Amino acid sequence: MNINPIVRELLRKRGVCDEADVLEFLSDSPKRTYDPFLLDGMEEAVNLISAHIKKGSKICIYGDYDTDGVTSVTLMMTALSKLTDRLTYYIPSRFGEGYGLNSAAVERIRGEGTDLIITVDCGSVSYEETRLAKSLGMDIIVTDHHTVTDKQADCILLNPKKPGSGYPFDGLAGVGVAFKLVQAMVRRDLLPKPVLSEVLDLVAIGTIGDIVPLVDENRTIVKYGLRELKKGKRAGLKALAGKASINLNSVTSDNIAYIIVPHINAAGRIEDATIGVQLLTDNGIFEKGIKCISRGAQGRACGEEKAILAAKLSECNKRRKELQEITFRSCVEMIEGGGKEDKPSGGEVADDAIILYAGKAHEGITGIVAGKLKDKYYRPTMIVTDIDEEGTMLKGTGRSVEGVNLYELLKTAEDLFVKFGGHKGACGFSLPSENLEPLKSRIAARMEELKAEDAQLLERKNPAEMELDPSSISVELAKDLALLSPFGAANPSPVFEIRGLSVSDVRPMGADGTHARFNVTKDGAQKLQCVLFGRAKEYEQLLSSGARVDIAAAVEENVWNGRSSVQLMIKEIKEHIDD
C-alpha cells in the first residue's frame, strides 16, 4: 500500500508505527476485534440469560439516559426480542432519579414481575442496589464501561475496566460491552449471526456519542457500523436524518457526533430519553407489547410515527440549544461581572478553576455549558445548581482541560460531597450548600499545587500536530488524510500549522457575521480557501486583506456540484512574526 508520508508521520505521532498496525488502521475492512469470552464473567452471563429464556422469565433492560445508554437499550431489546416476548425496559429520569441504578427503580421493576435485570452503560459500583435486587428474588447482570472506583456491584459484572478483567482493550463504550454480550450469545448459538450486523449502526452511534477512544476495537466497530448506517435500513434513523438534513449515504463520524448524537441526547436532557429508544427500535419489536416500566408507556410505534418521534427530538434539540445559550450568556455575565449579591458568591474564578453557582439553571444543559465555559476561559469549570427549593442541597457538574484530572481534583475534597463521580474530563457531585465555599478553597489550593508542578498547565495548547508547507496542500492530500477517519477521541481530524500566509477576499457568513470565508496564499502561489466557524469577530483584526498570519487548520476535500476542491477548516489564527 502506497502511503502518503504525511499520513505515515501523523500515525507515528499517534503511536501507530508497526507496519501491520498501520495497514490495519487504514484498512477499509479492519479485523481487530477480540473474543467476547475474554471479558470476565461472560460465560456466567450467557448461561444465566439462557436459563432465564428457557424458563420464560420476565427480563428488564436497564439503561442510562444518554446516547450510549439509549443505543445500548435498543441493542439489547433488538437481540433478546428474537428469543422472548417477555421484555421490558427502564431508563431513569435525569431530573427525578439521576444516573445509574436506584433502589426505588429496582423495587418498581420487581413489582412488575421481573426475574432478571440486565443493565447497560451503568451499574458497576451499584453494590447496594444489586444486593437489593437479589434480596427481592431477582438475578442481575451488569454490563458497563465506567471506571470501578468503589465497591463493585455484587453480581455478574461485565466491564473491561473491572480490576483483573484481562480484556485486551478497556476503551469500549457501554454499547460496545452490550455488543460483546450479544456476540457471545451468537457464539453459543443462542442468537442468529445476522443480529450482529443488524445492531452495528447502533454500536457506532453510541461509541461515537460517548467520546471513547476511536482506536483499536472501537475503530473496527465504528467502521463497520458506519457501513451499516449508510444502508438506511433503520426507519427511525432515516426519519431523523431527514429532519436534520443528513445524507445517510455519505454519513460521517462528524455527522453522528455533532448532529445525530445531540438530537438523541436532547430527549433525556429536556424531556424523556425513551423517545430515542422508540425512534431507534424497529416497530415489530414494540408490536410484541414491550413495556417501558419507568414511564408506564407501551412505546408502540407504527411506521408513520417515526417521523413524529424525529420531530419531537428535533424540538427537544431546539429547546436545548435555546436554554444552553441563555444559560451560557448568564454564566459569562456572572463570571465577568462578579456575580450577584443574592447568590452565594455568585460566579467567580476560584484561583484557576471556575466554580459557578447558577441557582435554578436547567440541569439538563449545565454539563454542556460547563464545557463551553471551559473552552472559553481554558479553566476546569464546575456549575452548581439547587437540588431543593430551600437551596440546602446543591448539585454540580464539571468539565476539565487537558492536563487537569477532574476526578482526582475532586477526590481531594471527597469528604465534602454526599456523592461524587466521574473521570479525568468530566464529573458530577452533590453536596450541602454550606460546603460550597470550602470546596472552592480546597480546589483553589490544589490548583496552586498543580501549577507549581507545571507552570504552563493552564496555557492553551497548540492544536497543530505538525507544520505543513502550502505547496503540499491539494485535493489528493485531503483524500489521503481522510483514510485516517473515522475521527473522534484519541484520533482527531489532523490539524496543521501553516505559516507566513497573506489574507484576501474575506467574506462574512451568518446573520451576525460570526463565521467567515477567506483566501490565503504564500509568496503569490495558489490561493487556498479557508472556512472559519463561530470566531470571526474574535479574529476580526487579522481577517483583513493583506494581513500576514499563521493558521492552524484541518485540510478537507469540498465537493460541490460534482467538483472537488481543497479547503482549510480554521482552528486558530495568529499574527505572523518574521523569524
CB burial class (10 A; 0-12, 13-18, 19+) of residue 429?
buried
Rounded-to-integer distance, Cα 246 and Cα 252, Å: 10
The helix or strand, by DSSP H or E, that contains position 143, with its residue range, turns out to be strand 139-143
Rounded-to-integer distance, Cα 273 and Cα 66, Å: 7
153 within 8 A of 190, measured Cβ to Cβ: no
The 3-class secondary structure across 151-180, one letter per residue, is: CCCCCEEECCCCCCCCCCCCCCCHHHHHHH
In angstroms, how far apart are the furthest CA atoms of the chain? 78
List Cα–Cα distances, 82 to 75, 186, 193, 194, 206, in angstroms: 12, 12, 12, 11, 22
Residue type at position 436: L
The pLDDT profile of the chain, 579 residues, written as one tens digit per residue, is 789 999 999 999 999 999 999 999 999 999 999 999 999 999 999 999 999 999 999 999 999 999 999 999 999 999 999 999 999 999 998 888 888 899 999 999 999 999 999 999 999 989 999 999 999 999 999 999 988 877 899 999 999 999 988 899 999 999 999 999 999 999 999 999 999 999 999 999 999 999 999 999 999 999 999 999 999 999 999 999 999 999 999 999 999 999 999 999 999 999 999 999 999 999 888 888 788 887 754 444 444 589 999 999 999 999 999 999 999 999 999 988 754 433 334 444 446 999 999 988 998 999 999 999 999 999 999 999 998 888 799 999 999 999 999 989 999 999 999 988 777 888 889 999 999 999 999 999 999 999 999 999 999 888 899 999 999 999 999 999 999 999 999 999 999 999 999 999 999 998 788 999 999 999 888 899 999 998 999 899 999 999 999 999 999 999 888 899 999 999 999 999 987
pTM exceeding 0.85? yes
In the chain, CATH 3.90.1640.30 sits at 32-317
155 within 8 A of 129, measured Cβ to Cβ: no
The helix or strand, by DSSP H or E, that contains position 48, with its residue range, turns out to be helix 42-55
Architecture of domain 32-317: Alpha-Beta Complex (3.90)
246 within 8 A of 232, measured Cβ to Cβ: no
357 within 8 A of 347, measured Cβ to Cβ: yes
In the chain, CATH 2.40.50.460 sits at 466-575
Give me 196's grid cell. Answer: 450482529
Rounded-to-integer distance, Cα 355 and Cα 394, Å: 12
Architecture of domain 338-453: Roll (3.10)
CATH number for the domain running over 466-575: 2.40.50.460
